[in-house]
Amino acid sequence: MLELYNFPQSTCSQKVRLVLAEKGLAFTDRRLNAARGEHLTPEYLRLNPNGVVPTLIHDGDPIIDSSVINEYLDEVFPAVPLRPAEPKARARMRAWRQYIDEVPTPAIRPPSFNFFIVQNYAGMSDGQFAALAERLPLRKHFYQRMGRGGFGEADIAEAIEKLEASLRRMEAALAEGPWLNGGDYSLADVSITPTIVRMEDLGLAHRWDDKKHVAGWYERVQMRPAFAATYYPGARVVGPTC
């Protein structure tokens, strides 16, 4: 019934794998090879015209965008709910999800790409890299800003500032409950988990040394069985301290 086209190390792919694991849903794991451009083939672009991962296939129909996919999964497979039943609590969860999509999720990309994506283009000429960027339906301008040499100091500083702001917001919320939205684990926690994992992988875990509630939340997240299922060998990266 379910197929997931994804990259092992993609934070957005990890968001959906977390939900599938939390719900105990069996799926066919379609791992694409980014280096070979398998997300830009005509066949894949017919499923996802954005040319990014993940894409969920349910009974032959594609569902795209990780946040949309996760809400869809929670609607279609309501066992083990990951959204509050009460409307105001659900609205607060969605506000968290929106903030996460707009602030920390894009902020983690520049340091991530500098560490383990830019090296793939070292052998390209400027012209070849420009041609590659032109092929990207959703990420053309992101790649043009990055360039073959990676993001500059100003871009990285901005990214770190936004990640710090996200941690402060998390710390304040988690002082009121064990999870971001209060007493129950939800899609809000799912949405931020891959960013926090990536921060740790990039040597940024010290950024929450003075945030005991974030540290405790991350310990609880890692104890959930879905975490180990999502972060199988090869799904994480290890980088320098930023």
**Residue range 117-173, pLDDT digits in tens:** 998 898 899 999 999 999 999 999 999 999 999 999 999 999 999 999 999 999 999
| Strands annotated E in 50-172 | 55-58, 61-64
pLDDT above 70: percentage of residues in the chain:
98
Map tokens 């339906």 to a residue: 137
Token pair of 137, please? 């339906």
Domain boundaries, the chain: 2-76, 87-230
For the beta carbon of residue 202, count every other beta carbon within 10 angstroms: 21
For the beta carbon of residue 239, count every other beta carbon within 10 angstroms: 16
Token pair of 116, please? 């383990």
For the domain with range 87-230, which CATH number is right: 1.20.1050.10, 3.90.1150.10, 3.40.605.10, 3.30.70.270? 1.20.1050.10
Which among 82, 80, 111 is positioned nearest to 94, based on CA atoms? 82
Residue 63: CB partners within 8 Å, gap ≥ 6? 55, 56, 57, 69, 72
Tens-digit pLDDT profile for residues 58-106: 999 999 999 999 999 999 999 999 999 999 999 999 999 999 999 999 9
| Intrachain domains 2-76 and 87-230 with the same fold | no
Average pLDDT over every residue of 33-59: 97
115 φ, ψ (degrees, to nearest 5): -80, -50
The whole-number pLDDT of residue 240 equals: 52
Alpha carbons 130 and 136: distance in angstroms, whole number: 10
Alpha carbons 33 and 213: distance in angstroms, whole number: 37
Q: What is the pTM of this model?
A: 0.96
Under DSSP, the state recorded for 95 is H
Contact 110, 118 (CB under 8 A): no
CATH hierarchy code of domain 2-76 = 3.40.30.10
| Strands annotated E in the chain | 2-6, 28-31, 55-58, 61-64
